[in-house]
A = this chain, B = another copy of it.
Amino acid sequence: MPTTIPVTVQQNPSKLVLLDQTRLPEEELFLYLDTREAIFEAIKKLRVRGAPAIGIAAAYGMYVCLSQKPYESLEEMTEDCTSLKQYFANSRPTAYNLFWALDRMQRRFDTELQKEGITQEEILDALFEESTAIFEEDQAMSKAIGKHGLTVFSKDRHWGVMTHCNAGGLATSGYGTALAPLYLGHELGYQFSVYSNETRPLLQGSRLTAYELAKGGLDVTILCDNMASLVMKEGKIDAVIVGADRIAANGDTANKIGTSGLAILAKAYDIPFYVAAPTSTFDLNTLHGDDIVIEQRDKDEVINGFGRRTGPADAKVYNPAFDVTDAQYISAIFTEKGIIEHPTIEKVRKHLLTE
């Protein structure tokens, strides 16, 4: 297991345990939260981030809040469960995974409540079980992605691997997606040197990926995004692995800005380029990458991002959040189900239909 798990829970007394990602990498601060207000604030202020991690935090959060004191009655407990669910749902109103996790916890609560003679303690045990299941299912999915990704490496040599942005444990229950093969391989005695592009403008690669890989005991080196060509030319990179925001039906992959350039450089230097993502990332309604609209973000992220202005205040700035990598540049996609080599529309469809 990676040592940096961004969200866990403790019992007796029950508390939600979060690594405050807004303090990284300057400070490694774990928060022990047991009030609804504190948990709401942590989700809202991005102290926990990444769809899977947010869902897990909300599920554990419901359990922790409901276990703070015995209720006067089961009715009062039920009311509080509904109120908590609505309250947490407002913490990040656009986070699909948040609602999904809260709904699942509410359903489990309702199911337990139907049972004859159920006690508050028994309901709490069931909620702990459900939130733990959400955590463990995410972990199993990441681990499966890692297992499939790891098949392109071997133990008989040392591997240089480049990654971009943070598709790591900090966004999930611990293994991440792009980083899952590296964490898993490291546990099994594979040897990796990871090169983490800093990923302008928000620097997730240096702030988060370099932090979590080093904590996990992996060898990691930070570089600026524009240094990728040289480090590839020098023969230091044997593979590139990135995550994905959305994958079109033909395999074209939207991911953090800079990814498409890395794929082109990798091809020029004859280095395999891999995408790692759960099958839920595929959007079969989007036939082609050109159909994906690129989000433009605020100019201050680029010219005022370090607490100091680094470009003329009235400058025009181009700040797209992601780009789309053509499937022709992708050597393979790793999912929890297996590997899609040289993705095409037929191969993607077949992979997703496989049980």
Contacts and interface: CB of A to CB of B under 8 A. Distances in A.
A295 to B, nearest CB: 12
A323 B220 contact: no
Given A206-B310, A221-B316, A268 B264 contact: yes
A85 to B, nearest CB: 37
A229 B200 contact: no
A70 interface: no
A200 B214 contact: no
A87 B195 CA distance: 45
A18 interface: no
Interface stretch (A39-47, A238-246, A300-308): A300-308
Contacts of A133: none
A284 interface: no
Interface in A188-236: 195, 197-201, 203, 206-207, 210-211, 214, 219-231, 233
A305 to B, nearest CB: 7
A317 interface: yes
A93 interface: no
Nearest to A299: B222
Nearest to A307: B308
A103 to B, nearest CB: 36
Contact of A207 (B226, B230, B257, B310): B310
Interface residues of A, number: 56
Nearest to A263: B229
Nearest to A309: B26
Contacts of A268: 264, 267-268
A233 B323 contact: yes
A315 to B, nearest CB: 5
A214 B25 contact: no
A13 interface: no
Contact of A261 (B207, B226, B309): B226
A51 interface: no
Nearest to A199: B226
B257 A265 contact: no
Contacts of A320: 227, 230
Nearest to A322: B230
Contacts of A200: 198, 200, 224-226
Given A261-B229, A318-B195, A207 B307 contact: no
A286 interface: no
13 contacts: A206-B303, A211-B311, A214-B314, A221-B316, A221-B318, A222-B317, A222-B318, A224-B257, A224-B302, A230-B260, A233-B323, A267-B268, A306-B307
Interface of A: 25-26, 195, 197-201, 203, 206-207, 210-211, 214, 219-231, 233, 257-258, 260-261, 264-265, 267-268, 294, 302-303, 305-320, 323
